[in-house]
Copies of this chain bind each other. A is one copy, B any other.
């Protein structure tokens, strides 16, 4: 590796980078991710940019803390509050197909006679009845709009990969021809939340993630550098995909150590 360019800030994906997800449990920390986070808080700048859609930022941070990973709530960025703010600014009245824990962000937003659907629900709260309700709202709109919290193909749990919200967005688009607006990685709008939170230029920042297309490719498209870790949803066949990470490391700790040992340059 050459001397490279300065790295002044880190955006870290959470699931698959800091910990691995287990259904209906806190999951398990990924080895040395806690050390990596402590190190970055001490020696650099760090924010956490996740597509997690099931929990409030408070509960995301608390879960990590229970796993021994000291992430501060105020440094966590998840789609739900960003989507709620977007609805406020654009006077949208969403039909909410979301988890109970994130409903709080939509307090005070008019949800009567909806003019869009907000979707951020998979796993236990997902049902035919709920996606059908979203379908019925969309099919009745002259210009149906679906806002999704992320657009992933799948997420990774310890027991295996799981079909993600992007698939159900494709389902609703197939049946209603709706416009799909992703507020989550890899959308530029969402990456800008992380860039603004760090308060620096994209070229000073590295994004570390386990999803090659969404984390790495998305960050690169916004002018950041993208680092792929071989944890979480990483699969060997990612090498066939049309994105080349600026760095690939076995885990977050290795990526951070390598950059730090290089004088915070990559």
- Give A residues with C-beta under 8 Å from B: 122-124, 126-128, 131-132, 135-136, 139, 153-154, 160-164, 166-168, 170-176
Contacts and interface: CB of A to CB of B under 8 A. Distances in A.
A140 to B, nearest CB: 9
A175 B153 contact: yes
Nearest to A123: B128
A139 B124 contact: no
Nearest to A121: B128
Contacts of A166: 174-175
Given A127-B127, A136-B160, A153-B176, 20 more contacts: A122-B128, A123-B128, A128-B163, A131-B163, A132-B162, A135-B162, A135-B163, A135-B167, A153-B174, A163-B171, A163-B172, A164-B175, A166-B174, A167-B171, A167-B172, A167-B175, A168-B171, A170-B171, A170-B174, A171-B171
Contacts of A135: 154, 161-163, 167
A53 to B, nearest CB: 14
A interface majority secondary structure: helix
Contacts of A153: 174-176
Contacts of A168: 171
Contacts of A124: 128
22 contacts: A124-B128, A126-B127, A126-B128, A127-B128, A131-B163, A132-B163, A135-B154, A135-B161, A135-B162, A136-B160, A139-B154, A153-B174, A153-B175, A153-B176, A163-B172, A166-B174, A166-B175, A167-B171, A167-B174, A168-B171, A170-B170, A170-B171
A128 B161 CA distance: 13
A236 to B, nearest CB: 13
A161 B160 CA distance: 34
B167 A154 contact: no
A100 to B, nearest CB: 16
Contacts of A136: 160-161
Nearest to A162: B132
A161 B139 contact: yes
A164 B167 CA distance: 14
A17 to B, nearest CB: 21
A231 to B, nearest CB: 18
A127 B128 CA distance: 7
Nearest to A161: B139
